[in-house]
Amino acid sequence: MIGNSQHGFGSFRSPGLGAGAAMLRAEHASARGLAESEFPHPARQPQPNYAALDLGTNNCRLLIARPARGGFRVVDAFSRIVRLGEGLSATGELSEAAMARTIEALKVCAGKIGQRRVVGGRYVATEACRRADNCAAFLDRVRDEIGIELEIISTAEEARLVVAGCAPLLHSRIPYALVFDIGGGSTEIVWVRRHGAHSEAGTPEILGSVSLPFGVVTFTERFGGIEVSPAIYRAMVAEAEAALRPFEREHGIRREVRARQVQMLGSSGTVTTLAGVHLALPRYIRAFVDGSMLTFDQIELVSRHLAGLDIEGRAANPCVGRERADLVLSGCAILDAICATWPVGRLRVADRGIREGILFELMQGSPE
């Protein structure tokens, strides 16, 4: 179950994980239903299902959930790396191959939405669709072929939804937070203040946000991701640090960091991948990663370890994999720049973001 807790954050389990246990539970529920049907009792209304879809530069992600006490319970999920923004920086357009990959993923999403009888949903697209000259034609194609109406959201709305989705992980007694999302085509940085030292409810106040025009896909296409020399890595870090300086000057965040009034939370594949590598997981397990903590020393050690591997070595790590092997060092470089700019000392890892923010908002006022 997903709710307002700083510990644990339930996740959808694919049929391959715990399928036997799931089957036993289903059989038990079926048998119980037969037994209970012999006795008259008021019919219980099934909970409505809601859907949130986030189509980014690199990933297509779907989450379907129903309201539950204090939050929601995930009933289905889907995630696939589609690289919609591949080559976009050079051409200004979405390529035919990238659109075809994405449409295949969106067909899976549409099937799940229909199967789960979703009563309400919001399906958003971010940086790749914001930038592409041919995005209108792509959205028309998605609507006509699949029936999904994608909404291109602004960078400010993207930042707001990330904060809404991650708010349950923020420590209630630390007044300020830096929340960031290292995406495929952009990096969102959000400076927020919680409402009261002991407040557990409500979304924090956004004091400022910035969308940097680069992410793991754009940096990898510009700097390379197969062989990344120390000089190339330093160049990526330097560019990201330079892009962060105006935001620091505007808000004076370092002053609050020195006063120990700031917490840091990262929502992205980069931080979840680093957490999985640090924990030496035999495969990526969301329940272990989401809500976990990484010290900056641990981040440096993992980043240095990955930078010392060749592309095959990175691909062999079960928490990196072949699909992310060429992207992970670009993400590490952006993360290093964030940590150097604001030396909070530790980072809370969030395997959640836009989709969870959408679901929280869709379910406001829904009965449990």
Q: How far apart are CA 333 and CA 53, in angstroms?
A: 28
Q: Which of 112, 128, 153 is the last residue of a domain?
A: 153
Let me know if residue 191 belongs to a domain.
yes
Count structural domains, the chain: 2
CA 219 to chain CA mean position, Å? 19
- 45 — pLDDT class (breaks 50, 70, 90): low
Sheet holding 176-182, edge to edge: 205-212, 187-193, 176-182, 262-267, 346-350, 293-295
Let me know if residue 38 belongs to a domain.
no
Say whether both 202 and 231 belong to one domain.
yes
Helix (H) or strand (E) holding 349: strand 346-350
**HSE-CB for 56 with a 13 A CA cutoff:** 29
Say whether both 102 and 214 belong to one domain.
no
Alpha helices in the chain (DSSP H): 19-36, 88-91, 96-115, 127-131, 135-146, 155-166, 216-223, 230-251, 253-258, 269-278, 286-289, 296-307, 311-316, 321-324, 328-341, 354-362
Residue 269, domain extent: 170-354
Let me know if residue 165 belongs to a domain.
no
Say whether both 93 and 239 belong to one domain.
no
Say whether both 205 and 309 belong to one domain.
yes
Helix, strand or coil, per DSSP, at residue 100: helix
Say whether both 148 and 174 belong to one domain.
no
- 5 — pLDDT class (breaks 50, 70, 90): very low
242-248: which pairs have CB atoms within 8 A and are 24 or more residues apart? 243/212, 243/214, 243/337, 244/189, 244/212, 244/337, 244/338, 244/341, 245/341, 246/210, 247/189, 247/191, 247/208, 247/210, 248/341, 248/342
Let me know if residue 257 belongs to a domain.
yes
For range 263-285, the mean pLDDT:
96
Q: How far apart are CA 245 and CA 226, in angstroms?
A: 29
For range 169-191, the mean pLDDT:
96
- 70 — pLDDT class (breaks 50, 70, 90): confident
pLDDT of residue 2: 39
Q: For the chain, give the percent of residues with pLDDT over 70.
A: 85
- Given a cut of 60, whether residue 213 has pLDDT beyond it is yes
Cα angle 272-277-282, degrees, rounded to a multiple of 5: 105
Let me know if residue 307 belongs to a domain.
yes
Say whether both 98 and 68 belong to one domain.
yes
Asked if residue 233 lies in contact with residue 333, where contact means CB atoms within 8 angstroms, the answer is yes
pLDDT of residue 196: 52
Q: Give the type of residue at 174.
A: I
Sheet holding 2-3, edge to edge: 2-3, 71-81, 59-68, 49-55, 118-125, 151-152
Say whether both 233 and 113 belong to one domain.
no
CATH of the domain at 284: 3.30.420.150
Say whether both 222 and 266 belong to one domain.
yes
Say whether both 326 and 184 belong to one domain.
yes
pLDDT of residue 44: 56
CATH of the domain at 95: 3.30.420.40
Q: For the chain, give the percent of residues with pLDDT over 90.
A: 81
Say whether both 114 and 184 belong to one domain.
no
Let me know if residue 164 belongs to a domain.
no
pLDDT of residue 366: 59
Say whether both 84 and 232 belong to one domain.
no
Say whether both 226 and 284 belong to one domain.
yes
For range 178-189, the mean pLDDT:
96
Asked if residue 82 lies in contact with residue 66, where contact means CB atoms within 8 angstroms, the answer is no
- 18 — pLDDT class (breaks 50, 70, 90): very low
pLDDT tens-place string over residues 342-360: 999 999 999 999 999 999 9
Q: What is the mean pLDDT of the chain?
A: 87
Rg over alpha carbons for the chain, rounded to the nearest Å, is: 21
